[in-house]
């Protein structure tokens, strides 16, 4: 079976090959899947895609015309694919529903600590041999109220970790989690969470009800100097609104591993280029903003789990078995 892997990175290719699936013939494409590459690449029966790949109606129709039967996502999220169109075309779509909540949760806490204790600023000063503590005063997590938006696989692990910091935990989720309740998490409505939390961490799915959940109106409800962490999806936050809130001092610190306009920016080396995204440049210039390039998932354990589950999904399809099917 021929499998075309788009957005293939060397560290992924190594694991795919090492798995040694004899019945699979891989075609690794470094470029992302989009309207151009779908025209230039002859795909096999299976295409394997990442979050940066474009899977809109136009691309899906072209894949179907090429004889593609299965789209195997190397991600849990699927907001980058039009599932309704895929279903109408008879394309099966599978994902990796839970590859390592621990990796993303630990990274979220790492971001939080880096911001609240001003670790990045300290590192930058030490590089210049400036050992003064001026401007480095942070605050403890103990006793702070943390609001979690989303308490699924990742959010529940974040809650578990934060109990060790002696935080008061509030959460908003359309489906409350019994495990989180057992940890002492109190479920509240959005307004109560926004008004009460010293720290807000986003771990929800991206859909019509959560898109721009952090916007000018919700920001206005929040405490002064609130800290916001987003390791979920970029468009959970209205970028223009958060920049205004950072400039006014309403938001004390922001940690983002995802960005509203990350497509074409993240997962590539632009060090020899000029970045023209003015919103990104404004965020990058702020000392109280920590930006990472969608790497919260990127641990040895998580990457291994992603490749393993992806291959198992494809093997199941080959054997006419339904596994982790979205449509």
Active site annotation includes 262:
yes
Question: Which of 286, 212, 276 is closest to 248 using CA atoms?
Answer: 286
Catalytic residue status for 74 = no
CA distances from 284 to 25, 132, 287, 288, 293 (A): 42, 24, 8, 9, 12
Catalytic residue among 294, 301, 312, 323: 294
Burial of 2-22, coded b for 16+ CB within 10 Å and e otherwise, reads: ebbbbbbeeebeeebeeeebe
- Tell me the DSSP string of 18-64: HH--TT-EEEE--SPPSTTHHHHS---SEEEE-TTS-B-HHHHHHHH
Q: Please pick, among 203, 262, 270, 323, the residue that the annotation labels catalytic.
A: 262
Pick the catalytic residue from 203, 233, 270, 278. 233
233 catalytic? Reply is yes
Quote the CA–CA distance of 235 and 231 in Å, as a whole number: 11
Q: CB within 8 A of 103, min separation 6: which ones?
A: 296, 297, 298, 299, 301, 302
Element (H, E) at 110: helix 101-116
Q: Which residues are known to be catalytic?
A: 233, 262, 294
């Amino acid at each position: 079976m021929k499998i075309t892997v788009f957005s293939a990175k060397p560290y992924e290719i190594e694991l795919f090959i090492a798995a040694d699936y004899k019945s699979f013939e891989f075609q690794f494409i470094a470029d992302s899947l989009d309207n151009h590459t779908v025209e230039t690449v002859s795909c096999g029966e299976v295409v394997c895609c990442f979050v940066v790949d474009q899977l809109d109606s136009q691309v899906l129709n072209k894949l179907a015309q090429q004889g593609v039967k299965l789209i195997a996502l190397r991600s849990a999220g699927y907001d980058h694919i039009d599932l309704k169109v895929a279903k109408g075309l008879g394309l099966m779509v599978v994902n990796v529903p839970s590859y390592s909540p621990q990796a993303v949760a630990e990274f979220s806490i790492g971001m939080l600590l880096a911001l609240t204790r001003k670790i990045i600023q300290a590192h930058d000063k030490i590089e210049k041999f400036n050992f003064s503590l001026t401007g480095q005063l942070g605050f403890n997590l103990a006793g702070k109220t943390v609001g979690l938006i989303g308490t699924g696989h990742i959010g529940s692990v974040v809650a578990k970790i934060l109990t060790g910091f002696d935080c008061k935990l509030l959460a908003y989720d359309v489906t409350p989690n019994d495990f989180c309740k057992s940890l002492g998490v109190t479920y509240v409505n959005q307004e109560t969470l926004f008004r009460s939390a010293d720290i807000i961490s986003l771990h929800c799915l991206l859909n019509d009800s959560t898109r721009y959940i952090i916007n000018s109106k919700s920001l206005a409800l929040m405490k002064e100097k609130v800290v916001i962490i987003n390791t979920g999806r970029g468009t959970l936050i209205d970028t223009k609104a958060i920049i205004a809130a950072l400039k006014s001092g309403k938001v004390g610190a922001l940690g983002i591993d995802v960005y509203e306009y990350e497509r074409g920016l993240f997962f590539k080396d632009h060090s020899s280029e000029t970045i023209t995204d003015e919103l990104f440049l404004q965020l990058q210039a702020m000392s109280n903003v920590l930006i990472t390039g969608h790497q919260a998932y990127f641990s040895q354990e998580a990457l291994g789990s992603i490749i393993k589950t992806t291959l198992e999904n494809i093997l199941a399809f080959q054997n006419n078995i339904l596994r982790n099917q979205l449509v």
